[in-house]
A = this chain, B = another copy of it.
């Protein structure tokens, strides 16, 4: 490995001069600069970022804490964060916390010891105090629970309202909502949106909880139809859950959308792959990731933030799990 001292020797200058050339600061004569640049090229010198980190107490790395990369909502988010990070010269470290606070704490400690420059939190099992004590820039992504930390979320409440209204407008009169876990803020917001609409409109409804995976929602759906066979519309809190609903209805011999209409939430690629394709509330996932990354990097680079909380618009993506005409079945 070539070091700065090798370069200095080769260019017959001091290490300080080499450093000045590389960082373009301080005075360096034309000749010295050329000699250094030539030496760098000849030796194929790449400065060691660990040494740099040690002095600057920064690492050009950011941490991305997510529950689980195998949950299909997160890869696109991660990809967006990485794409932005790359253009600014940052490296992303993805950590799967499994919503386990010990794991999360462990990762945060490890990252801190590596002088990680900032964290994007798409998971939050710890208290805000824990995060605050870190003394590094933070961004909350997809989960907001705090005013003072920059946040990127989509309009879960409004999206859920639209989803529910869509089901009603297309003829559903007894609607079930399969909500996500109670402690998850986004699941709560979607539930509240649903609740507001069905209560306002006086629509029969039922709410059950499931985890954000296919197995759990499939089982919950089966139980749901067991008890309420007349349900004719389902709003699932995520697309993966909606896939579970489809599995269950298929087994039960219910037709989608003729007997039961279905709408999901997220807009992950899976929805399009399903047959029938899923009607869903699409979040701008990639965009959320890019905004979060930029927001974090701005903080790291001490630029002022004009907006602290981004609430992005969702939009309905019409698939084949809702009926095309409003009164196909009454």
A residues adjacent to B (C-beta < 8 A):
46-51, 53-54, 59, 68-70, 72, 74-76, 78-79, 82-83, 91-96, 109-115, 214, 240, 243, 246-247, 250, 269-270, 272-276
Q: How far is the CA of A109 from the CA of B60 in the complex (A)?
A: 14
Q: Which residues of B contact A275 (CB under 8 A)?
A: 246-247, 250, 274-276
Report whether B50 and A54 are in contact in the complex, using a CB–CB cutoff of 8 Å. yes
16 A–B contacts, CB within 8 A, in A order: A46-B109, A46-B112, A49-B114, A50-B115, A51-B54, A54-B54, A69-B75, A69-B78, A69-B82, A72-B72, A72-B75, A82-B94, A91-B111, A93-B93, A243-B273, A274-B275
Q: Which residues of B contact A47 (CB under 8 A)?
A: 113
CB of A321 to closest CB in B, whole Å: 11
Q: Which residues of B contact A82 (CB under 8 A)?
A: 69, 94-96
Q: How far is the CA of A48 from the CA of B59 in the complex (A)?
A: 12
Q: How far is the CA of A76 from the CA of B68 in the complex (A)?
A: 10
Q: How far is the CA of A214 from the CA of B274 in the complex (A)?
A: 11
**Given A69-B75, A82-B96, A273-B274, 13 new contacts (CB under 8 A):** A46-B112, A47-B113, A48-B115, A50-B115, A54-B54, A74-B75, A79-B96, A214-B273, A240-B273, A243-B273, A246-B275, A270-B273, A275-B275
Q: Which residues of B contact A96 (CB under 8 A)?
A: 79, 82-83
CB of A37 to closest CB in B, whole Å: 18
Report whether B79 and A272 are in contact in the complex, using a CB–CB cutoff of 8 Å. no
Q: Which residues of B contact A243 (CB under 8 A)?
A: 273
Q: How far is the CA of A51 from the CA of B114 in the complex (A)?
A: 9
Q: Which residues of B contact A74 (CB under 8 A)?
A: 75
CB of A125 to closest CB in B, whole Å: 16
Q: A112-B46, A214-B272, A275-B275 are in contact. Are A70 and B59 (CB under 8 A)?
A: no
CB of A247 to closest CB in B, whole Å: 7
Q: How far is the CA of A229 from the CA of B91 in the complex (A)?
A: 49
Report whether A69 and B69 are in contact in the complex, using a CB–CB cutoff of 8 Å. yes
Report whether A79 and B75 are in contact in the complex, using a CB–CB cutoff of 8 Å. no
CB of A170 to closest CB in B, whole Å: 21
Question: Which chain B residue shows the least CB distance to A51?
Answer: B54
Q: Which residues of B contact A115 (CB under 8 A)?
A: 48, 50
Q: Which residues of B contact A109 (CB under 8 A)?
A: 46
Q: How far is the CA of A203 from the CA of B274 in the complex (A)?
A: 31
CB of A244 to closest CB in B, whole Å: 8
CB of A242 to closest CB in B, whole Å: 9
CB of A109 to closest CB in B, whole Å: 6
Q: Which residues of B contact A69 (CB under 8 A)?
A: 69, 75, 78-79, 82
Report whether A46 and B113 are in contact in the complex, using a CB–CB cutoff of 8 Å. yes
Question: Which chain B residue shows the least CB distance to A109?
Answer: B46
CB of A90 to closest CB in B, whole Å: 10
Q: How far is the CA of A250 from the CA of B320 in the complex (A)?
A: 12
Out of B78, B240, B273, which one reaches A247, CB within 8 Å? B273
Out of B79, B113, B270, which one reaches A48, CB within 8 Å? B113
Q: How far is the CA of A46 from the CA of B214 in the complex (A)?
A: 40
Q: How far is the CA of A247 from the CA of B269 in the complex (A)?
A: 13
